Amino acid sequence: MAIVLLYPLVRVVVLSFQDFGLRELNLGGAEWIGFANYHQIFADPRLWEIVLPNTVVFALVNVVLTVGVGTVVALLLFRLGPWLRGFVTTAIMMAWAIPAVTGTYVWIFIFDSRRGPAIRLLDSLGLVDADATNWFDDRLTFYVIATLNVVHHGFPFVAITVLAGLMTIPKDVLEASTIDGAGGWKRFWYITAPMLKPVFAVVTILSTIWDFKVFVQIFLMPGGDGINRDVFNLATWSYVTAFGQGNRFGLGSAIAVSLTLVLIVITTFYIRYLFREEEL
């Protein structure tokens, strides 16, 4: 495991300081160019105007929506009787179980420019012209569709985890607050949420990490594999730079390392939090 996982981490950092392309891949040997790859990335207006906003805004919106929807669904499940709860939980599990690849294809079909049910519905209502609309061309609508896909795929984990947390709250605490006159809203913010703080921290940080590095869902959407450069995020930009035309492995590595550094900062908070809460 150390060989398969730690060595590549070292290697990708090394690569990010090299001019490593197809020629170096075939013949071996690579020239050290210091921070030139990083200079190129940070000087690229595409990073600041397209890639970074796409990555960060998408991640933030998706984390808020995933955790929000997941929590609301968990509270709903908590109110249900045992039979209905089991049934809805199974349904949620099925949403979780759909592989990212096939799930993405279904969402692509739903919003497909000519045959998709969504565009047909709006066309029949006279709201859009099905022949002239392609939602995958536009950056905003592209990411709205990706958001639906990612939230749909991600909220079950949050719902199940938060529900497990809700089950651990002693019933008498909630009953006591009800007797004291607290409504549902107050009960959630003053009793439930503080008691579940560790659970919320875990699901929020994990969601943040997952949503920052979303790759398959973006890559598979029409134009997401590098054809439409307006919809790049850090992960797809890195991949297409390295494996698309030109095979600039060094430059792609530098992008990947930058993304990893962002994630490590987030992970550090996660581990710190766990360590503070209890002995590992």
Partner 1 sequence: MKSHTPRGRILTAVAVVTVLVFTLFPAFLMVSMAVDSQASAGKRSLLPTSFTLDHFSFVVDEGQFGTYLRNSLVVAVCTVLASGVLALLAAVAVSRFRFRFRTSVLVMILIVQMVPVEALVIPLFIQARDLNLLNRLLGLVVVYLAFSLPIAIWMLRGFVAAVPKEIEEAAYVDGASWSRMFWSILMPLVAPGLVAVSVFSFIIAWNEFTFALTFNTDADPERYTAAVGLRRFFGQYGNNWGAIMAGSTLITLPVMLFFVVVQRRLSTGLVAGAVKG
| Binding residues for partner 1 restricted to 101-120, rule: CB under 8 A | 101-103, 105-107, 109-110, 112, 114-115, 117
Instruction: Name the pairing type of β-strands 31-32 and 18-19.
Output: antiparallel
Q: Is 18 helix (H, G, I), strand (E, B) or coil?
A: strand
Q: Please say which residue, 146 or 256, places its beta carbon nearer to partner 1.
A: 256
Report how many residues bind partner 1 under the rule CB under 8 A.
Answer: 85
Interacting positions 5-64 with partner 1 (CB under 8 A):
5-9, 11-12, 15, 25
Nearer to partner 1 by Cβ, of 54 and 156: the residue is: 156
What is the residue-wise DSSP string for 65-89?
HHHHHHHHHHHHHHHS-HHHHHHHH
**Per CB under 8 A, which of residues 248..277 are in contact with partner 1?**
249, 252-253, 256-257, 259-260, 263-264, 266-267, 270-271, 274, 277
When computed from its CA atoms, the radius of gyration of the chain, rounded to whole angstroms, is 23
Chain positions 199 to 258 lying near partner 1, rule: CB under 8 A, are: 199, 202, 206, 209, 212-213, 215-216, 219-220, 235, 238-239, 242-243, 249, 252-253, 256-257
Q: Shortest approach of partner 1 to residue 140 CB, angstroms?
A: 22
DSSP states along 128-188: S-TTT--TTTSHHHHHHHHHHHHHHHHHHHHHHHHHHHHHHS-HHHHHHHHHTT--HHHHI
CB of 66 closer than 8 Å to CB of 155: yes
Residue from the set 33, 56, 61, 88 that interacts with partner 1 by CB under 8 A: 88
Q: Which of 36, 53, 89, 134 binds partner 1 (CB under 8 A)?
A: 89
**Contact between 76 and partner 1 (CB under 8 A)?**
yes
Longest dimension (CA), the chain: 77
Least distance in Å: CB of 97 to partner 1? 4
Which one of 32-40, 42-50, 93-101, 138-146 is the stretch in contact with partner 1 (CB under 8 A)?
Answer: 93-101
Enumerate residues 6+ apart whose C-beta is below 8 A from 166.
74, 75, 78, 192, 196
Nearer to partner 1 by Cβ, of 109 and 189: the residue is 109
Contacts with partner 1 in 134-173 (CB under 8 A)?
152, 156-157, 160-161, 164-165
Burial of 181 (0-12, 13-18, 19+ CB in 10 A): exposed
The H or E element spanning position 19 is strand 18-19
Among 38, 78, 188, 273, binds partner 1 (CB under 8 A): 78
